């Protein structure tokens, strides 16, 4: 499902509010944690999972460490 969200100023940050029906379908409640992942196509919001967060951090470190090799492979 695609929904348009309006961004709002929340203190020094910017926040988005999910529509009630979407939050209910995704079993999200106030105080739940989610991960915001920057991708080439935009921002992916996914439920918080410590394992996922660790895997993303590991992948980022590996990409940085092996950047020259990865660029060469991409040619």
Nearest-10 Cα torsion for 60, 30, 6, 48: 10
Residue 1 scores a pLDDT above 90: no
Domain residue limits, the chain: 7-74
- Determine the pLDDT at residue 47: 82
- The whole-angstrom separation of Cα 47 and Cα 36 is 9
The predicted-structure confidence for 26-71, as pLDDT tens digits, reads as follows 899 999 999 898 999 999 988 888 888 888 889 999 999 999 998 9
- Determine the pLDDT at residue 31: 92
Q: How many residues does the chain have?
A: 75
- The residue-averaged pLDDT of 15-34 equals 92
- Determine the pLDDT at residue 53: 81
Helix 50-65 to helix 67-74 angle (10° resolution) is 80
The pTM of this model reads 0.55
């Amino acid at each position: 499902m695609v929904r348009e969200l309006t961004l709002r100023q929340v203190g020094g940050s910017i926040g988005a509010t999910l529509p009630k029906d979407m939050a209910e379908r995704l079993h999200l409640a106030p105080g739940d944690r989610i991960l915001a992942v920057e991708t080439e196509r935009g921002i992916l919001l996914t439920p918080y999972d410590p394992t996922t967060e660790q895997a993303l951090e590991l992948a980022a470190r590996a990409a940085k460490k092996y950047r020259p090799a990865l660029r060469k492979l991409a040619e």
